[in-house]
Structure 1
Amino acid sequence: MSLALVIGAGPAGLMAAEALMAPGRRVILADAMPSPARKLLMAGKSGLNLTKDEPAAVFADQIAGRAPDPGGFLQVDGRDFGPESVRAWAEGLGIALFSGSTGRVFPVGMKASPLLRAWLARLEAGGVTLRRRWRWTGLGDGFRFDTPEGPRDVAPQVTVLALGGASWPRLGSDAGWVPILAGAGVAIAPFRPANMGLRVDWSDPMRRFQGQAVKGTAIRAGGAVSRGEWVVTRHGVEGGGIYALSAQIRDGAAAVIDLAPDLTAERLARRFAQARGRLSIGNWLRRVLGCPLRVALMLEWGRPLPQDPAGWAARAKALPLRHAGVMGLDRAISSAGGIRAEALTPDLELRALPGTFAAGEMLDWEAPTGGYLLTACLATGLRAGRAAAARIAP
């Protein structure tokens, strides 16, 4: 009986294990944590965003533009595993889905746990054996693990590595695999945070707004625009509207906020031309901008304050987002960096370790939130698993 090994029980690893299932084949799925897919479950606490309901070519462009991918390993259109494939796969697990107003696709129940339970049940029925608390520690005559029963060596015919990147290390993605693969001659790009918030040293007046969502604005950075909501937190600013531009900001682009994106500068200037009278500056700005939080941001980041209506309008349309740098990997949704494209074949096989494939956030790529990140992890897991399965007979 042939033996396949998958290391890492996140979405990419689970998908690779599913692709490797076959009668007469043993598949061991090893994970260092006590339970699988912890990051998936954490992401699903606020609603599991599986994919995005949009044309495959548009979807693929959101990922391809962010990855140093000369080998084309991030195919997420009809050739591989795109948005429609994700929907069909989830529905095949008995999970009913719906598309939100922005095209994001969620389970009707919103949570990740029902999908994960159904997925694990299918893998178990297909002969996949999940080994919990198996931490990969090195290479030798096979793959060496620290297990609850002591050191264990496994010598499979093929292996898929899906150990994650370097974000949210407390959930298992701690990049502990980097020294092992680097020592084996695999080229690895340094990890950097992706889909992360920005650190801000708030003034005391801003503290009362912590936890509140900023709505109805547009942020511009590096030629891109985000209209999503974002949140003022104790540490800075976070949320989808920020994450969408976090790569550009991380790489040095300045960010500005349009506090009134649905108004032209001329119409906004006419509003600012209203006589202030005896109103305080805050109350006057609230009459013009409406939202107290937008007023607070203007007073926080708009100084020195303008002196005429045109100046006020220009500042409100391009308010500098003043931050103290991006948040680190421990607070990032995902990471950029990892196994470089030139270290991989088009089938995601490691050139330095024939018979060993890699998938998911181990690879040097990044994708925005909104379904792109998870879909690409599933797609690379499927490709690596299929390529590994093609190497061995059942």
Structure 2
Amino acid sequence: MTTPKPKTVAIIGAGAAGLMAAEVLSSRGVPVQVYEQMPTAGRKILMAGKTGLNISHDEPLPTFITRYTPTDPLAEFVRQFSAADIRAWMNGLGIDSYVGSSGRIFPVQMKASGLLRAWLHRLEQQGTEFYYRHRCLGVVDNELSLAVLDKHGDMTEQFSQKFAAIILACGGGSYRRLGCDGAWQAWFGVDEITPLYASNVGVVRTWSPFMQSIFGQALKRVTATVGQECVHGDIVISHYGMESGLIYKLNRSMKDALDYHGKICLYLDLLPAKSIDDITQALNRNKKQSLNTSLKKIGLDAVKIALLRECTDKTDWSDFCKMADFIKKLPIEFDGFRPIDEAISTGGGVKFSAVNDKLQSKSNPYLFIAGEMLDWDAPTGGYLLTACLAMGRAVGGHVWQFVQGGR
């Protein structure tokens, strides 16, 4: 064991929350050491940027903060570092941004690599030290147990080090290959943790062989309802069930339904722009034609027709009133969610009741926690990254006060 490093802060995890905390602290002259078990920083940020880095959303702040579950603990962090602040911060890194037609905010270059390079350069210029291939094994008071990893991920040596404060920003439990393995759960008491669960992930249903021809295709412009939640958009039919941003938005209601009923029932309106009376009349006018022809004439495409046939009984196909009902409210049952490692994010984690309003552990005053490790959830659309950046910024400020003696 080496001697304590005066005023030095350790950050475990080089993701969005950890890097933002490092920026705040190093900009104020605090020595920062970032430990990351992967060979490079920001791997999940880079993954998110493969199809365009959706870093935040331009919707009004009062609406924005309702996207989080629970809302209250996240609201203040996001108010203090909102979408407008994130755009200004990006601009300071030399990264221009724009608001897409959906309200989502992206860097003009779309990819995450340019932003990450500029960010890491700034951190290094401010004196932040990075230690890659270093795995945290645990924390007791202000002492970290660490292991050095070789290129295969095997431990080559272990050591311990004391710090003025420690920030855990280890991420959730999805995308294990990117370093988010959830191993940190073992460092907390059972009463401090809500078990991790998959979020922003597809739902599972066993289709009949009839559906194979439409796997990978989309249900366009549908309205989906689970419980009291209703969302409009597109859904992709997968070999395992369904997925898309629309499905992700309904994940919370789906989880509640699964916990309460043991199954998920999704209701689909396949033609939201048409009334049930219009659909019934149109089907009756075309009753001498085949069912497929009648359904096409009222506006259903091949994907919607296939799903309608899959989820209804053949004996109902000649009953136009029933078919109109199904077109407007088609029930589809699902068995659960895809595995946590396929999820974009995870809910669960360290309970907010285990930390104070400074994100400081109530059981260990030297320990601060930020990002996806905490027990919150949000859909995709820029909300996840915004919250991680906002919490990282907040916890950096609180740790700065702590190391100055303002506990």
Higher share in helix: 2
**RMSD over aligned Cα atoms:** 1.9
**1:57/1:77 contact within 8 Å kept:** no
Structure 2 CA distance for aligned equivalents of residues 77 and 11 of structure 1? 14
**1:2/1:24 contact within 8 Å kept:** no
| Counterpart residue type for residue 25 of structure 1 | V
What is the aligned partner in structure 2 of residue 105 from structure 1? Answer: 105
Q: Which ranges in structure 1 are unaligned for 5 or more consecutive residues?
A: none
What is the aligned partner in structure 2 of residue 248 from structure 1? Answer: 253
Structure 1 residues 387 and 372: alpha-carbon distance in aligned structure 2, compared to 1, 3 A threshold: same
Structure 1 position 142 matched with structure 2 position 143: yes
**1:73/1:347 contact within 8 Å kept:** no
1:219 to 201, 215, 224: 224
Residues 113-124 of structure 1: pairs in structure 2 closer than 5 A = 113-124=113-124
Aligned to 2:381, the other structure's residue is in SS state coil
**2:65/2:74 contact within 8 Å kept:** no
Structure 2 CA distance for aligned equivalents of residues 158 and 186 of structure 1? 23
Q: CA deviation at 1:263?
A: 1.2
Structure 1 CA distance for aligned equivalents of residues 127 and 111 of structure 2? 26
2:368 to 343, 357, 374: 357
2:70 to 52, 67, 71: 67
What is the aligned partner in structure 2 of residue 21 from structure 1? Answer: 26
| Counterpart residue type for residue 147 of structure 1 | V
Structure 2 CA distance for aligned equivalents of residues 91 and 222 of structure 1? 41
What is the aligned partner in structure 2 of residue 286 from structure 1? Answer: 296
Residues 289-300 of structure 1: pairs in structure 2 closer than 5 A = 289-300=299-310
Structure 1 position 57 matched with structure 2 position 62: yes
What is the aligned partner in structure 2 of residue 175 from structure 1? Answer: 182
249-258 vs 216-225, which deviates more? 249-258
| Counterpart residue type for residue 225 of structure 1 | C
TM-score by length of 2: 0.90
Q: CA deviation at 1:244?
A: 0.7
222-231 vs 212-221, which deviates more? 222-231
2:283 to 272, 278, 286: 272
Residues 1-394 of structure 1: pairs in structure 2 closer than 5 A = 2-22=7-27, 24-63=29-68, 66-67=69-70, 72-78=73-79, 80-140=80-140, 142-148=143-149, 150-182=157-189, 187-252=192-257, 254-279=265-290, 281-304=291-314, 305-393=316-404
Structure 2 CA distance for aligned equivalents of residues 122 and 181 of structure 1? 33
**2:78/2:387 contact within 8 Å kept:** no
| 1:57-106 alpha-carbon deviations (Å, 9 max, x no partner) | 1101111xx2285xx3542443x211211111122211111111111111
**1:186/1:350 contact within 8 Å kept:** no
| Counterpart residue type for residue 166 of structure 1 | G
Q: Number of matched residues?
A: 386
| 1:142-163 alpha-carbon deviations (Å, 9 max, x no partner) | 1011114621222110111000
Structure 1 residues 244 and 367: alpha-carbon distance in aligned structure 2, compared to 1, 3 A threshold: same
Aligned to 1:262, the other structure's residue is in SS state coil
Structure 2 CA distance for aligned equivalents of residues 61 and 241 of structure 1? 17
| 1:271-327 alpha-carbon deviations (Å, 9 max, x no partner) | 222324353x33332222331111111111123534433322111111112222111
Structure 2 CA distance for aligned equivalents of residues 213 and 68 of structure 1? 32
| Counterpart residue type for residue 19 of structure 1 | V
**2:196/2:349 contact within 8 Å kept:** yes
What is the aligned partner in structure 1 of residue 260 from structure 2? Answer: none
Q: CA deviation at 1:174?
A: 0.9
Structure 1 CA distance for aligned equivalents of residues 36 and 319 of structure 2? 62
| 1:101-151 alpha-carbon deviations (Å, 9 max, x no partner) | 111111112111111111111111111111111100023571011114621
| Counterpart residue type for residue 100 of structure 2 | G
